[in-house]
Amino acid sequence: MTPAQFTAETSGRGEFVRQANRFTQRITADGSSDWPVEPGRYRLVVSLACPWAHRSVIVRRLLGLEDALSLAVVDPIRDARGWRFSLDEGGRDPVLGIEFLSEAYLATDPSFTGRYTVPAIVDVHTGQVATNDYPRITLDLSTQWREFHRDGAPDLYPEPLRAEIDAVIEPIFRNVNNGVYRCGFAASQQAYEEAFHDLFGELDRLSDRLATQRYLVGDTITEADIRLFTTLVRFDAVYHGHFKCNRQKLTEMPVLWAYARDLFQTPGFGDTVDFDHIKRHYYGTHEQLNPSGIVPLGPDESGWHTPHGREALGGSPFGTGTPPPAV
């Protein structure tokens, strides 16, 4: 089957408009929703190429939820029916028994006509999507699934810091996480330039903040660092060229490059990155941006393993906790 072209929605001014999440119920520990926390009941469906899904992969690993919440990885190339399970034997997810994520979406809402997005948490028993609300998924893994965290798991959303974390991640989402898409899929010069300036203005502010502190909020890794990392780790590989985010490469922004390397070398971050999936997805799926479908060979990935020197700023990734075990 041929790859499907990603068609971006835009406003009348040519601004990229992100599709709203369709399934926004929460999986809760107190029974306040239709989806109770229950180990083994749900399957987290992700693309290793997708930054939004990558967040949930990192959080799941840091918290040690592998035994409680199983993981399904889709092919980085979507076909005409969306994300597919062609990496699995027989092209079918071994737990859900489906070939395409769309089957779970349509089992939940037969009238759904939007894009079938990842991450999605699917109920194994019914085959329905419990949630595809990616901002909430990771927060709930930290707070609602606490009973099943590993010993020594970090608190990625500590209650005393939640207001500050929320304040930090809002402009990161608008200007950086979504900002690179606003650049890449802008349909007018004005929309592109506005997104470009928002993106690099925010990166400059983050660089100033991180020049004197190791992490975005507090002395340990939090949800804020995870959300920024998944965009930074893709920046030079795809966003700089493919999305025209080309004022500078990440490797040309000293503070952010050192910060990103620090996180990459922290267990749970770099060991969840798949540059092959990332590049093949972006360059092979966005036909309107890369009609040839050629996937670039660079950049050189060895720089991610070079010393970063961020230890001098104090703090430690896991505080009084421990890193996740080696993969």
Annotation says 157 is catalytic: no
Is residue 57 annotated as involved in ligand binding? no
Sheet architecture: strand order including 70-73: 70-73, 42-46, 120-123, 129-131
The per-residue pLDDT for range 79-92, each reduced to its tens digit, is 778 999 999 999 99
What is the identity of the amino acid at 196?
Answer: F
Alpha carbon 101 to its chain centroid, in Å, reads 17
Write phi, then psi, for 46 (nearest 5 degrees): -135, 160
Token code pair at residue 166? 């929320």
Alpha carbon 150 to its chain centroid, in Å, reads 22
| Lowest mean pLDDT across 24-33, 43-52, 152-161 | 24-33
Matching residue, tokens 């919440």? 69
Strands (E), 56-169: 70-73, 120-123, 129-131
Q: What is the DSSP letter of 272?
A: G
Is the pLDDT assigned to residue 222 strictly greater than 80? yes
Instruction: Give the contacts of 112 (CB within 8 A, at least 6 positions apart).
Output: 22, 105, 106
- Name the strand (E) or helix (H) holding 45: strand 42-46
Task: Tell me the pLDDT band of 6, cut-offs 50, 70 and 90.
Answer: low
Contact of 121 with 33, CB cutoff 8 Å: no
CA distance linking residue 63 with residue 141, whole number of Å? 8
Give percent of the chain with pLDDT exceeding 90. Answer: 91
* 327 class by beta-carbon count within 10 Å (0-12 exposed, 13-18 middle, 19+ buried): exposed
Confidence (pLDDT) at 265: 98
Annotation says 181 is catalytic: yes
| Cis-peptide into 267, omega within 30 deg | no
Is the pLDDT assigned to residue 172 strictly greater than 60? yes
Average pLDDT over residues 56-73: 98
Confidence (pLDDT) at 150: 98
Confidence (pLDDT) at 4: 42
Is the pLDDT assigned to residue 120 strictly greater than 70? yes
Instruction: Give the contacts of 275 (CB within 8 A, at least 6 positions apart).
Output: 237, 301
Is residue 115 annotated as involved in ligand binding? yes
Q: What is the DSSP letter of 168?
A: H
CA distance linking residue 174 with residue 202, whole number of Å? 9
- Active-site option among 134, 157, 181, 215: 181
Query: Smallest Cα–Cα separation from 180: which of 290, 276, 52?
Result: 52
CA distance linking residue 310 with residue 215, whole number of Å? 9
Task: Tell me the pLDDT band of 18, cut-offs 50, 70 and 90.
Answer: confident
Is residue 83 annotated as involved in ligand binding? yes
Helices (H) and strands (E) in the chain, counts: 10, 8
Confidence (pLDDT) at 327: 83
CA distance linking residue 247 with residue 114, whole number of Å? 33
Query: Smallest Cα–Cα separation from 324: which of 1, 67, 2, 125?
Result: 67
Is the pLDDT assigned to residue 305 strictly greater than 60? yes
Q: Please, what are the domains in the chain?
A: 9-148 (3.40.30.10), 159-313 (1.20.1050.10)
Contact of 246 with 198, CB cutoff 8 Å: no
Average pLDDT over residues 129-152: 98
The per-residue pLDDT for range 241-278, each reduced to its tens digit, is 999 999 999 999 999 999 999 999 999 999 999 999 99
- Active-site option among 42, 50, 192, 259: 50
- Name the strand (E) or helix (H) holding 242: helix 240-242
pLDDT, mean over the chain: 95
Task: Tell me the pLDDT band of 319, cut-offs 50, 70 and 90.
Answer: very high
Task: Tell me the pLDDT band of 7, cut-offs 50, 70 and 90.
Answer: low
Confidence (pLDDT) at 22: 86
Query: Smallest Cα–Cα separation from 245: which of 178, 170, 173, 169?
Result: 178
Confidence (pLDDT) at 1: 32
Model-wide pTM > 0.85: yes
